[in-house]
Chains A and B, each alone.
Chain A
Amino acid sequence: MKKLFLLLFLISVGFLSCERDDICIDDITPHLIIRFYDATDTTLVKSVTQLSVKILDIESNYIVNNTTDSIALPLIPSADFTKFVLTNDTNSDTIMVNYTSEAVFVGRSCGFKSIFNDIDLQETDDGENWIQSFNIISQQIENETSAHVKIFH
């Protein structure tokens, strides 16, 4: 009887010491995915050379000197807009992304993510923009499976 008590006690201590049974593996807040296209032939994907991206009001650059044809940018869920400064090898352009964010529960370990609705884009005209035009493909950012915005340059 005493031995059994001890055994059950040890088992229960084992349960107590059980820690996390899950780590966050689900998708969290999706990024805004931008794909770059040629301004003259709009079907052609065109890389931006030495692209740097800075999120306004944050000191360090999010992307530094990366030659790429697509980027994924994080949006600030607690605000209804995020401003980005996109710099290529010659010029800097500022774009402002407007949205309404919505908190969606994911799970115990991931907590809540945010999805973004009513996506709108504005470009600050500084006289010599390298971004010539853009096209919003998706009004809603729910996942990262395809591009949400096309930028022509």
Chain B
Amino acid sequence: MLKYSISILILFGCFVSFSQTDNSKQQDTLIKNKYGLRVGMDIFKPVNSFINKDSKGFELVGDYRVSKKFYVATELGFQENTTEEDFINFTTNGSFIKAGADYNAYVNWLDMENAIYVGFRYGFSTFSQTLNNYTINNDPFLDDVTMAVNGQKFDALNAHWAEFVLGIKAEILNNLFLGFSISGKKMITTKEPDNFKNLYVPGFNRVFLNNSGFGFNYTLSYLIPFYKRDK
């Protein structure tokens, strides 16, 4: 029985694909795609700012369609984040900008504008680190007498990094898009503080041991159509 059911499935699959190609051939000349500027914002950061007192952030996103498959894309915003570790507590505050391109690998039906894309970004951030307090990591026997020390502020720091982005965008209403993306990041250069390290960078998030990072975005964006072009 199982053998038959698989055969039937394959048979149906053939039918479906045939009917699709027939359809698109007929309508090819009629379908037009929207080209324009898409602007929006990250919807996770404001929510997180509200529920997490150690994090305040805001991020604007935008892209512009340059060809059938390619978009130039940018994100900019600011982030204030307090990191608590075993022996240190510090606050990072700064702004960031990312610029790059997205390639839409998704083939849409008819005039739909959904996207499954891969992208690349160059990221830059200027920020400050404030060492709120730290405890000297010493022999545990001395715990009672090793006190927390108030730290200092390190200004005018910066970081450059590269990002690889994987994401999707779905048109939920006319011209309104809901998007989600994840990104892997690799630090290129940083201006490090004296006797401390950039363990968190706005836009890059937590800097892991091998100078890599992760990020994700939930975005809501609106397409301002400039013109239409044949698909």
A interface residues with partner B (beta carbon < 8 Å): 1, 4-5, 8-9, 11-12, 15, 18, 21-22, 24, 28-29, 31, 55, 57-58, 62, 74, 76-79, 101, 103-114
Contact = CB atoms under 8 A, between A and B. Distances in A.
Given A4-B168, A8-B167, A62-B141, A103 B149 contact: yes
B141 A112 contact: no
Interface of B: 85-88, 114, 116, 134-139, 141-142, 144-147, 149, 166-168, 170, 180-182, 195-197, 199, 208-209, 214, 216
Given A8-B182, A15-B182, A58 B144 contact: yes
B137 A22 contact: no
Nearest to B167: A8
Given A76-B142, A78-B147, A104-B195, A1 B136 contact: no
Contacts of A24: 86, 137
B85 A111 contact: yes
A57 B144 CA distance: 11
B111 to A, nearest CB: 16
A111 B168 contact: no
Given A1-B168, A9-B180, A58-B145, A109 B85 contact: yes
Contact of B137 (A5, A11, A57, A112): A112
A9 B44 CA distance: 12
B112 to A, nearest CB: 10
The 8 closest A-B pairs by CB, nearest first: A111-B87, A74-B139, A29-B138, A28-B137, A77-B136, A12-B216, A111-B88, A114-B136
Contacts of A108: 85, 88, 197, 199, 209
B87 A110 contact: yes
A124 to B, nearest CB: 21
Given A4-B168, A58-B144, A77 B138 contact: yes
Contacts of A114: 136, 138
B137 A15 contact: no
A77 B138 CA distance: 8
A50 to B, nearest CB: 20
A22 B147 CA distance: 24
A105 B195 contact: yes
A112 B145 contact: no
Contacts of A103: 134, 136, 149, 195
Contacts of B137: 24, 28-29, 106, 110-113
Given A78-B147, A105-B197, A108-B197, 8 more contacts: A8-B167, A8-B182, A15-B214, A18-B214, A29-B136, A76-B142, A107-B197, A108-B209
Contacts of B170: 1, 5
Given A21-B209, A74-B142, A12 B182 contact: yes
Nearest to A15: B214
A61 to B, nearest CB: 10
B180 A113 contact: no
Nearest to B209: A22
A76 B87 contact: no
B178 to A, nearest CB: 9
Given A28-B137, A114-B138, A78 B145 contact: yes
Contacts of B199: 108
A103 B182 CA distance: 38
A110 B115 CA distance: 44
